[in-house]
Structure 1
């Protein structure tokens, strides 16, 4: 099968929004001097063009240092049901810390975010920061093709 034969559909803005609304995890890419630093991250989504990340840990955290040293990042989220049914969205955007006094405004988004139990437990005793990822651009692709050799008999 060649790339030309792959049945890819580029998602429009509404499809990307719907996809993000149903995802809870992805990979945040932060720039470094050498290679990007990739982090699996849970996120909250405001149904528009903003994601929210909760960081747990003190100021010595590498991810906290990298995110505070940049204002640009990328984020990838995806779903892969099978080799013939998958979709992904790649977002590029601006990242900024949200001051504690603004957290009340985004409580519903933060409460809807999925977090592993270990993170939930750490939030009780560790320093917590919330970051806003404002999307500048996004692209999404969906593949729902049939496996090679599977022909649909349209005469039936």
Structure 2
């Protein structure tokens, strides 16, 4: 079924402004990079510039599949979601390009807007030699959400049935 067919059950498309607000309030998602087989999928924290860019900080070892695939790909997908309950959730799917910043570009959004979540072990470890920033330029975005009970679960739905 499509989102439009499920509208009567409380499923809604998000506007561009709602998507921007959602992305700004989150900090963790799932990156999918194409491969010859199944996509390479990994959780990543991100910073968001409020418009059209996400900033990923890669922690790299001597060999990094995510860095290799990121440099080889023309297009990637990134999913950000929040699920408070089965009746209250939001999901934004982004498509875009992934690249290292050019020398004149900032490697993070404006000061004070960082929402990226990073595991404690990454913050405590000395990772200065193995860190690279990648920019995800959003080319397409789609968001859906369900906020509230479906009509059959609404308190007044039972009153309508009894009449």
Q: TM-score, normalised by structure 2?
A: 0.82
Q: Could you tell me which runs of 5 or more consecutive residues in structure 1 were left unpaired when the two chains were aligned.
A: none
Q: Which range moved further: 126-135 or 10-19?
A: 126-135
2:9 aligned with 1:6: yes
Give the C-alpha shift of residue 133 in structure 1: 0.4
TM-score under structure 1 length normalisation: 0.85
Q: Could you tell which deviates more after superposition, 142-151 or 58-67? A: 142-151
Following the alignment from structure 1 to structure 2, what is the Cα–Cα distance between the partners of residues 100 and 30?
24
Larger radius of gyration: 2
Which segment drifts farther, 53-62 or 40-49? 53-62
Number of positions where the alignment pairs a residue of Structure 1 with one of Structure 2? 153
Counterparts of 1:60 and 1:30, CA distance in 2: 17
The SS at the match of 2:61 is: coil
**Structure 2: which 5+ residue stretches go unaligned?**
none
Map 1:91-110 onto structure 2 (within 5 A): 91-99=94-102, 102-103=105-106, 106=109, 108=111
CA contact (8 A) 1:11 1:142 kept: yes
